[in-house]
Homo-oligomer: A and B are copies of this chain.
Amino acid sequence: MRYVLASGSPRRRELLVRVIPEFDIIPAVSEESPESCEPSEIVKELSFQKASEIFYKVLTDSGDGLVVIGADTVVSYNHEVLGKPQDEPDAARMIGMLSGREHDVYSGVTCFYSHNGEVRNFSFTECTRVHVAKMTQEEIKEYARSGEPLDKAGAYGIQGLFSRYITGIEGDYYNVVGLPVAALYRELKNHSLI
């Protein structure tokens, strides 16, 4: 079995090791806009695009045994879907919105694989609720300046300095980091792919 992660995120790479010890990394490059506006559908669509792009790029005649995994994560608060912030002020705006409240983090995962010469795929999503402590204006600015927010959906990383403001979650922690580890393990096992 050859596994490929269709994402360049170092956090997803670290997490996937816990499910599959060895895999290749080929980040998807296409940036398509999702048609849906529901967070659970957006992440499913985008993970599907990433996985299918890389699957058809890598697929050879002897396609059996290839498994490509795509994933996407967004933060959702009060019907607004937060992706990565554009700059420091945008990061401060997002963090200020999340401060003292709870929000949802959605990850979508799609696996493309071939079975007896036939291409198959499945997708799933996972949602985790996150509670953020009330932050002062100074704390918001300090975190926005820290450099952590810029490459992260919702402008924060649960695994970094921001952990001091996260009072609790409901659901899978790794889903917030960017890959729902337990659900992915279960799904790959159910499809006999590990």
Contacts and interface: CB of A to CB of B under 8 A. Distances in A.
A164 B182 CA distance: 4
A186 B134 CA distance: 10
Interface in A150-185: 158, 160-161, 163-174, 181-183, 185
Interface residues of A, number: 25
A150 B19 CA distance: 21
A115 interface: no
A18 to B, nearest CB: 5
A156 to B, nearest CB: 13
A133 interface: yes
B174 A163 contact: yes
Contact of A170 (B166, B170, B183): B170
Contact of A165 (B133, B160, B168, B182): B182
A133 B186 contact: yes
B19 A164 contact: yes
B133 A182 contact: yes
Given A164-B181, A169-B171, A169-B172, 16 more contacts: A18-B160, A18-B163, A19-B164, A128-B168, A133-B182, A133-B186, A158-B173, A163-B181, A164-B182, A164-B185, A166-B182, A167-B182, A168-B170, A168-B171, A169-B170, A170-B170
6 contacts: A18-B163, A164-B182, A164-B185, A167-B172, A167-B183, A170-B170
